[in-house]
Structure 1
Amino acid sequence: MTALTPAQLDRIVQAALDEDAPWGDLTSETLIPATAQARADLVAREPGVMSGGAVFAAAFRLVDPRIAVEQVVPDGARFNAGDRLASVAGPARAVLRAERIGLNFTQRMSGIATLTARYVDAVAGTRARIVDTRKTTPGLRVLERQAVRDGGGRNHRFSLSDAVMAKDNHLAVLTADGSSVTDALLAVRERMPHTAHLEVEVDRLDQVEPVLAAGVDTIMLDNFGLDDLRTGVALVDGRAVVEASGGVNLDTVGAIAETGVDVISVGALTHSVRSLDLGLDVVVGGP
């Protein structure tokens, strides 16, 4: 797990603000008096799971630190359509300038958290953990990973620097000289830091034993059918963490979990998510 730091938060949000108003907000600066004040509520248009409260607040703080932000619904909490999630109050020009960026981040993060919660609910009662993948929006991984956690999911390795994860193309190169998979992986073990985790992907049952013989920590059963997943779990028999990947959606994840796997990785949590419908409504008669 990689926690979202204040420095990362400000860097990402400031980049978005600079993109959105590189020379100021021409509309608000033309239409809205400099002395005008505004209060607005972040309101849910549909039910979901809250995520991105700190990012939402940062958008307003970085535009004008005089804006007060109150988060009503905490990250990770479920809400209904019509619920007030947060409120902002301060100089109207600044509120309007920050509105779109604050919404963009919070809508996407809440969409990820909401979808993740649906997957987590679908495997309730099994041993399986729902985890994300590296199929994230470039530059926004730390936010999207936080949203997965807010939805009750777990994080896979954060980056290529965090673990050794040998997939089919890696194994093809490793064994091109005629080495066995076991010998190649044992050689990898010798070169790895002693604190590093070794995961290996297999796409056939006959690869399971040679990979386990190398003492891997996690074995990924990629695009296995349900019967082969059950067989694979039995073959591993607790000698490694078993991860299932490929062909995972809300219709299939429950049955996959019931095969006894430990981890189910779901790329759709971040690469195919729909942003949640949230709105920022200016309150008539606000300050």
Structure 2
Amino acid sequence: MFIHEIESFLEEDLGYNDISCTLVPEKLIDAIIFTKEDCTLAGLDEAKAFFDYFGLQYGTDCVNGDRLSKGDVIFSLHGSSHSVLRAERLVLNFLGHLCGIATNTRRCVDIARQYSDVRIACTRKTTPGLRKYEKMAVIAGGGDPHRFGLSDTIMIKDNHVKLMGIEDAIMSAGKKASFTQKVEVEAESAEDALRAAKAGADIIMLDNMEPGEVIDTVELLKRSSVPGHMVIEVSGGINADNLEEYAKTGVDVISMGSLIHRSHWIDVSLEIIR
């Protein structure tokens, strides 16, 4: 986390007349941060950035990705009472939000692992300004971050296809792409998936297909001797409730916007102990 980011978050939270945090006497205190429910941990680095900014001493035996039980201590703190109070809400907000994403991701990864080694990935459906943190939380939960931005991979979506057609879009992308960039094509039917594969796509993303249709499309692509390096992904309307059926389809990647936008915050608290 960069200093300008920390100060932007602080400007929003502290405002111009912070009386509440300076109301108490300034003295050295000890405090702990603990989880009030079972969770998978994420957000340690963000919390440490705030502690460092305020000059607080901290200790932890945890690492991102740890499975915590209700009551487990995440951090012990020592420092100025004013600084602890000023850091409190921002740290708890980051931990609560990111632990929620990591916990949801871990749940989905555990479901999928019962049936296959498919990768569970998130999407670009993230909170503006918080994408890198949310995607790192997905990683902490055992998931794949997918693209961090449009420059990572060239994705040809339905609107590209409507404007250019699959073959022309793939050809144009191939001419403009760096050798480090892959070309991914969103396909809404088995026929489109096969056309994209034959035109040289690196990744075929099966969009909003039912599990049975996904199975048929995967089998069609394999019968057609598509290149061995090609990745088959499925996305659209997938969540923990229907993940099991998609994990059985034989795809390489399941991408889920719900890893982030359907995660609930974990209840994390700070308590002054001395």
Scaled to the shorter chain, the TM-score interval is: over 0.9
Gap change, CA 1:74 and 1:128, over 3 Å in 2: same
- Could you tell me the percent identity over the aligned residues? 37
Correspondence 1:1-287 to 2 at 5 A: 6-7=1-2, 10-23=3-16, 25-29=18-22, 31-34=23-26, 36-62=27-53, 64-65=54-55, 67-125=56-114, 126-175=116-165, 181-237=166-222, 239=227, 240-283=230-273, 286=274
Q: 1:115-153 deviations in whole A, cap 9, x for unaligned?
A: 000000010140210001001111111111110000000
Secondary structure at the aligned position of 2:21 is classed as helix
Which amino acid letter does the alignment assign opposite residue 195 of structure 1?
A: T
Which range moved further: 183-192 or 151-160?
A: 183-192
TM normalised by structure 2 equals: 0.93
Which amino acid letter does the alignment assign opposite residue 32 of structure 1?
A: V
Q: 1:73-97 deviations in whole A, cap 9, x for unaligned?
A: 2111001001111111111111011
RMSD over aligned CA atoms reads 1.4
TM normalised by structure 1 equals: 0.89
1:271 shift after superposition: 1.9
C-alpha distance in structure 1 between counterparts of 2:175 and 2:21, whole Å = 62
Which amino acid letter does the alignment assign opposite residue 30 of structure 2?
A: R
Secondary structure at the aligned position of 1:248 is classed as coil
Q: 1:178-220 deviations in whole A, cap 9, x for unaligned?
A: xxx3244223322322221000001111212211111100000
C-alpha distance in structure 2 between counterparts of 1:186 and 1:255, whole Å = 34
Unaligned runs of at least 5 residues, structure 1: 1-5, 176-180
Unaligned runs of at least 5 residues, structure 2: none
Which range moved further: 10-19 or 124-133?
A: 10-19
Answer whether contact 2:35 2:72 (CA < 8 A) is retained. yes
1:225 shift after superposition: 1.0
1:12 shift after superposition: 2.7
Answer whether contact 2:156 2:169 (CA < 8 A) is retained. no
Q: 1:24-51 deviations in whole A, cap 9, x for unaligned?
A: 531121x2113x2221111111000111
Answer whether contact 1:200 1:218 (CA < 8 A) is retained. yes
C-alpha distance in structure 2 between counterparts of 1:115 and 1:13, whole Å = 26
> How many aligned residue pairs are there?
268
C-alpha distance in structure 2 between counterparts of 1:205 and 1:60, whole Å = 52
C-alpha distance in structure 1 between counterparts of 2:247 and 2:97, whole Å = 27
Secondary structure at the aligned position of 1:26 is classed as coil
Match of 1:3 in 2: none
Deviating beyond 4 angstroms after TM superposition, the runs of 4 or more aligned structure 1 residues are none
1:18 shift after superposition: 1.5
Secondary structure at the aligned position of 1:27 is classed as coil
1:241 shift after superposition: 0.5
Answer whether contact 1:13 1:55 (CA < 8 A) is retained. no
C-alpha distance in structure 2 between counterparts of 1:243 and 1:190, whole Å = 23
C-alpha distance in structure 2 between counterparts of 1:204 and 1:172, whole Å = 14
